[in-house]
Every structure is written in C-alpha cells, then in structure tokens.
Amino acid sequence: MRLIILLLTLLISINACAKDDIFSKYPVNNIYKGGFFELVYDENKMSLEYYNTTKKELSKGVGFSGKYVVVITALGNMKIRAGTVVNVNNGKAYDFPTIYAIDDTLEFDIKFKKDSSAICISGTDAYNGKIYKNKCYNFKEGKFIPIN
C-alpha cells in the first residue's frame, strides 16, 4: 500500500513538473520596463469591476509574456469568469479563448509567468460545459495557440 501511495505521489509530482517545464519552453527574452498606458474609465466600454481589476493588475507591473497583465473578472451572477490579456504599453486587450463557469466540476485556475508566453488554464467552458484541466496556450501576436 505504501508503495502505491509513493508511486502515485511521484507520478503527480512528475506531472506537475512537466507543466512547470512548459513555461521554460516558451521563453520571453525581454521584459518591458517602460511606462504603462493610462487606463481611463469609460462606462460605455468597460465595467467598473474590469476597470478596478485592470488598475490593480497594472499596479503590480508586467506579469505575463514580457509586456502584459492578466485580468480575470466575474460576470453576471459571479459564477462566470472572463479573462483578458492586456498590453501594458498600449492598453490593447485580448480575450481568453472562452469564458469559464464556476461550478463544482472543476475549480477555475490559471498559471502564467512574466518571462514566458505560455499560459495554462483549468476550468469549465461556460458555453459547452467542456472541462479543461491545465489547457496550455502559447500567447503569440495576440492569439492563444493551443499547446496540448
């Protein structure tokens, strides 16, 4: 029994390391250090939550792919999560490939690094109910290109 538990633990650790390794396979060589765009609230273009969350993420500095911040906001009844990648230099925003439902099936989770263009998302697709567990993408030129 101990051997089985040890093997399962090892297998889980190897899988976790493999996912961490995905970030090193998609390196970003330059981290943007210039000034950030000025975010101005416009109720016709964004929700107050999106504005506040984006402002908070911008205050932390570059967090993804060398020149972006990742913004996650709740929609509707707070059971939907939408994600956007925002260029800190010019404010251009790119929506995640889908929106995610918050339910008992799978907890919404996202992993990314400032020096990698890889981003991995776990969650339930709000449109079709498909479950994504650590679905990874290479974010390149404003597009989410599936890795696995």
- Print pLDDT tens along the chain (148 aa): 443 333 334 334 334 444 569 999 999 999 999 889 999 988 888 888 899 999 999 999 999 999 999 999 988 777 899 999 999 999 999 999 999 998 776 789 999 999 999 999 999 999 999 999 999 999 999 999 999 7
Other Cβ atoms closer than 10 A to 22: 19
Q: Are 44 and 70 in contact (CB under 8 A)?
A: no
Angle at 39 between CA 80 and CA 79, to 5 degrees: 5
> Bridge partners of 136?
120
What does the DSSP 8-state code read for residue 27?
A: B
Residue type, 129: G
The model's pTM is 0.81
